[in-house]
Structure formats: structure tokens, C-alpha cells
Amino acid sequence: MTKFTTLMSAAVVALAGGYATLPQPAAAQASPNVAEILVYGNDPCPRSTDDQVVVCARRPEAERYRIPPNMRQSGTPQQMESWAVRSQSLQTVGATGINSCSPVGPAGYTGCLSKLIKEAHGERKQQADEENPPQ
């Protein structure tokens, strides 16, 4: 056991000596911090101080509460439609019987009017969404 303890002590001393010879990190350079700030409308830009440089980018007032351009969705309304809405159309595939609007099964025709009304409401909503651009 003493031989093992002696070897461990030697290893610890060797490691400590190895760390002592490593170069120390260079001192931080004295460079000023740069703060990039977005300013909207006629808001004043904060002044720079001795230890901080302030860079302002001015945007129109209408952009103040909008989603940033790099985070906005782009594409057609069909491409932006969620998967939950797309899956709604698959719920009635293969449905037969009452309220199914199919020629198969008893009273399959009864669902045709409700299907027609739902489609008309959906088309009207989609048309309204396309005509009104986001503000």
C-alpha cells in the first residue's frame, strides 16, 4: 500500500508541476464594448460613454411592434397552412353512411349540404385572408 501511495504522490506532484509551466492567458485588451441598438421613429439614440460605443439602426415607427423580418413566415397561404388544418380534410376520407355525403350507404346524401356550407365558409375566409395584408 505504501508503494501505491508513493506513486500517487509522485503523479500529483508531476501534474502540478506540469500545470505550473503552462503559459498564463493574456490580459484582456482594453477595447470598448459595442452596443447595437434598434431605434424606432423619432426616438433618441443613447449617447456613447467612455467604455461603451453605441451604434443605432433607425427603423420606421410602423415596424416597432412587428415580428422581425428574419422571423416572419414567407410563402403562399397554402404553404403556411398548419398540419392540423391539413389533417382535418383527411378525417372524412372513406366515410360512408349518414352525414357523409357519399352515394354509398343509407342516407349518405344528408351530409352534402353541410359539406357544401363548410367549404363555402372556408373559401370565404381564405379569400378574406388573402385580400387583407398584414399590418
Identify any residues that bridge with 36 across adjacent strands, giving them in sequence order.
55
Residue 61 has pLDDT above 90, yes or no: yes
With pLDDT > 70 as the criterion, what percentage of the chain qualifies?
A: 71
In a domain, 20, yes or no: no
Residue 130's pLDDT is: 81
- Is 124 found in the same domain as 81? yes
- Is 116 found in the same domain as 84? yes
In a domain, 5, yes or no: no
The model's pTM: 0.35
Q: Could you tell me the residue range of the domain that residue 41 belongs to? A: 33-63
Q: Is 75 exposed, middle or buried (0-12, 13-18, 19+ CB in 10 A)?
A: exposed
C-alpha triplet 49, 53, 59: angle, nearest 5°: 115
Lowest-confidence pick of 32-36, 97-101, 115-119: 97-101
The structural domain count of the chain equals 2
Residue 56 to residue 48: CA distance in whole angstroms: 10
Residue 95 to residue 108: CA distance in whole angstroms: 9
In a domain, 93, yes or no: yes
- Is 123 found in the same domain as 94? yes
Residue 62 has pLDDT above 80, yes or no: yes
Kindly indicate the confidence band of residue 55, based on its pLDDT and cuts at 50, 70 and 90. Answer: very high
**94 within 8 A of 42, measured Cβ to Cβ:** no
- Is 42 found in the same domain as 85? no
